Chain A
Amino acid sequence: MPNEDLTQFSVSQLAPHIQRGDISPIEVAEAFIRCIDALEPRLNAFITRLDEYALQAAREAEEEILNGDYRGPFHGIPVGLKDLFWTKDIRTTSGSLIDGVFVPTEDSAVASRIKAAGAYCIGKLHMPEFAFDGTSLNRHYGPARNPWDLTRMAGGSSSGPGAAVASGQVPIAIGTDTGGSVRVPAALCGITGLKPTFGLISRYGVTQLSWSMDHVGTMTRTVRDAALTLNMLAGYDSRDPDSVRIPPQDYSWELERGVQGMRIGVPKDFIWEVMDSEVEQAFRAAMIQMESLGSRTQETFMPELGLINAAGSVVQTSEAGIIHRSRVLGQGKHFDPVIRRRVESGLFVPAEAYLHAQQVRAKLRGVLLETLEDVDLLATPTTAIAAPEIEEERVVIQGQDVPIREALLRITRVFSTVGLPAISVPCGFTKGGLPVGLQLVGKPFSESLLLRVAQAYQESTDWHLRHPEV
């Protein structure tokens, strides 16, 4: 391994070499910085680079490891953070210019846990303004580009994490997901994106978009790395009011148990009303592959998914409106005009409509959980389309003229709204060479099972081993 390109390896591949001393954390940092140097002018995945900080952290990691103080698989590993995680003494823009130069005086819970594991932040990654978009557009910092085709978007709102992990600029990144913002860029960029159960990872020190729908999620090359990253980040935090008290567990221990006898539900109706044929083809092939591994697929009737999305949209927009009220009313002209209107529209939602949407959400979550009693998990395509062109606003899918954001978010938003854990893994490519994502959705706190099924699929395919030629 020492003579190979270190940026092409997963954390679980790098870690044993770092532990044994075959590879120095400084070599690792330097390799990723070289990769960022080479690709960043084309991808625009970073808002703030932290080269010197990273090299210093790598030197400290090396010293600790040489002294016998090895902390675990993330020791000496660089991590990319979406630029809405507070990082002490490092500017945090949230993709905006509104707050001027905001330099937090303390770390987010995620940044603290990364440091405690011996990892370090190598850069603050691109995102649309205040994470309020499913594309990778940003008027202030320019668009993040998809490493598989630079004329196409990386997806959003964790656009920088998607592009950076897929291209090899970082081995893992941490994003947030309110309507699909981890899974959509993961699908469009051909990587693994995990959105855990609501409350499993603390959101302390994350710039809010919607307090009842924001989740922290992981973006990695492999399912195994997703499990290791969840081990690092999950845990109760009294500073996040929705953080759940759940005992620590090793999310990687069940990974190799396979899918024999597993019942996988594939929703009927809603999912297929808007669906690109190449994406559907890749998904159907993935289901056949799952069956060959021993699982059983069954069609599942899931009522009212469209209503869940409507409820999610009303709740998210209303909460975003109040969170950013003073910013948008005081400094509206400094917003991206599209984001500005989206935030402002939340201020027009009457209290009764917000509360009713929350009731609808709770009711339909109950219905969805009942449906899940008949299966072990659900499977869907992650998005209805592969990566669209950067400025594309609408797309024709099987004769229907559909807004891009609807095509990207309509499936993932359902499961963010109800807070269920979901993972996207690559399941094929279009004829044009764009990745397609398979989404698996589990019951609350079933991350171990979800990761196990995703791992069985990933180990039996090679989609995740393909790297884009940027």
Chain B
Amino acid sequence: MSERPDLTYEVFMTLAQQQGFEMDTMHLKELFPEVQAMFQRMKLLDHVDTAGIQPGSGFIPTDTITPE
């Protein structure tokens, strides 16, 4: 996967508008570092090769009950 670019404030503001945020500049300024931190976590994951991996959150027990 190619390197995820850093999130700029301008791109963040565009995304906020698209999401339907009230364009309250003071609040969005406080929100920006939180979203940047989330992008950093996403960036950490970018180098993990997940080709062929199908997500699923649960486990299937070996002794399942047959559905009625």
Contacts and interface: CB of A to CB of B under 8 A. Distances in A.
A197 interface: yes
A313 B19 contact: no
A236 B66 CA distance: 11
B64 interface: yes
A152 B37 CA distance: 27
A246 B67 CA distance: 11
Interface in A299-357: 306-307, 310-311, 313-314, 317, 329, 332, 337, 341-342, 344-349, 353, 355-357
Given A344-B21, A359-B53, A360-B50, A244 B64 contact: yes
Nearest to A213: B57
Contacts of A344: 21, 31, 34-35
A56 B44 CA distance: 55
Contacts of A348: 7, 12, 15-16, 19, 35, 38-39
The contact size tier of chain A is 35 or more
Nearest to B53: A359
A440 to B, nearest CB: 18
B58 A360 contact: no
The contact size tier of chain B is 35 or more
Interface string A235-246: 010000010111
Contacts of B42: 314, 349, 353, 356-357
A341 B59 contact: no
A307 B48 CA distance: 9
Which of A344, A348, A361 has the most CB atoms of chain B within a 10 A radius of its CB?
A348
10 closest A-B pairs by CB = A358-B55, A359-B50, A212-B57, A444-B59, A245-B65, A359-B53, A345-B34, A310-B41, A353-B42, A245-B64
